[in-house]
Amino acid sequence: MDELPEQDHEHKHEDEEANVIVPRYKMIVSYDVIPSTQDSYYQFVLGEMVPAMQEMGVYMTEAWHTAYGEYPIRMVTFVAEEVDIIYDMLDSERWGDLETRLLSFIRNYTRKVVPYRQGFQFILSNN
């Protein structure tokens, strides 16, 4: 019987290694998705917005759906290691374009940058 060659368990390709960050700040975004735009909304957020934000150093960590109550239907949390990373993203032309496109799919939009705390956090509207 022929012996099989040993597998190289230690070998990893560089592109297989995940980026690991230590989150220190959160951007919490809440809104209601316009029902007629649901499919386009998902395609845009998952296919364009989230990848673009990751390229700018801001990572989605949570997405919540409100099933009951007087709160926005969707709440999404993004994290970054430094607050300047979030503010630089928010000041960028790229974010302006992303946010403008997002606003075509949603209403009752609110965002807030806060120090990172593990667990569920939400923002209250000023209404």
**Tens-place pLDDT, residues 44-87:** 999 999 999 999 999 999 888 877 767 778 889 999 999 999 99
Q: Establish if 1 belongs to a structural domain.
A: no
pTM, full prediction: 0.76
Residue 118: CA atoms inside 13 Å, Cβ hemisphere, count?
Answer: 1
How many domains does one find in the chain?
1
Q: Is residue 126 part of a domain?
A: no
CB 93 within 8 A of CB 3: no
Q: Any idea what DSSP says for residue 91?
A: H
**Host domain of residue 39:** 22-115
- Domain CATH code at residue 42: 3.30.70.100
